[in-house]
Amino acid sequence: MISLAWLLPAALTLGFIGLLAFLWALRSGQFDDLEGAGWRAIEDGEPSTKSATPETQAKGSTNGHR
């Protein structure tokens, strides 16, 4: 029974990490476009550099859209 002392916290912590990961993914917009994400993964072309400039991201995020 003494093993419960570390088994229980370990199980709950792992579950809690999973929950936090889900909430983080949700907040960072990874569930915004489930269909599009699948297509983007198999896209052959180079990722566009123009949209990824730090300047643009800062501007975009002020509006809530990425």
Partner 1 sequence: MEATLDLRNGAVGEAPSGPHEETETVTLSVPDMVCGNCIRTVETALRDIRGVKAARANLSSRRVFVTYDVPLVSLDDLISALKKTGYKAGPLNESVADNGVQSSDLLPRVGVAGFAAANIMLLSVSVWSGEASDMDSSVQSLFHWISALIALPAVAYAGQPFFRSAANALRGRRLNMDVPISLGIILACGMSLFQTIQGSAQVYFDAAAMLVFFLLIGRTLDERMRARARGAAENLLSLKALSATVVEDDGSSRSLPARSLTPGMRIAVAAGERIAADGIVTSGTSEIDESLITGETVPRTVKPGDRVHAGTVNGGGPIQLKATATIDNTLLAEIGRLMLAAEQSRGRYVRLADRAARFYAPAVHVLGLSTFIGWMIVGAGWEPALTHAISVLIITCPCALALAVPAVQVAAMSRLFNQGIIVKAADGLERLAEVDTVVFDKTGTLTLEHIHLADDSAIDDAVLLRAASLAVASRHPYAQAVVLAARERGLKVVAREGVKEVPGSGLSATSNGQEERLGSASWAGVPVAANQEASLWYHRGDEPPLGFRFAERLRPDAHETVKALQDADYDVELISGDRVDAVALAARGTSIDVWRGATRPDQKLARLDELKSLGRKTLMVGDGLNDAPALAAGHASLSPASAVEISQTAADAVFQGERLQPVIQALMVARAARRMALQNFAIAIGYNAIFVPLAVSGHVTPLIAAVAMSTSSILVTANAIRLRSMRLCLTPLRRAP
| Binding footprint of partner 1 on the chain (CB under 8 A) | 1, 4, 8, 11-12, 15-16, 18-19, 22-23, 26, 29, 31-36, 38-40, 42-43, 45, 48, 50-51, 55-57, 59-60, 62-66
> For residue 64, what is the DSSP state?
T
Are 66 and 29 a contacting pair, CB within 8 Å? yes
Question: 6 vs 45, which CB is nearer to partner 1?
Answer: 45
CA distance 10 to 4: 9
Task: Report how far residue 8's alpha carbon sits from residue 4's, in angstroms, rounded to the nearest whole number.
Answer: 6
Least distance to partner 1, CB of residue 44, Å:
9
Task: Write down the least CB distance from residue 5 to partner 1, Å.
Answer: 10
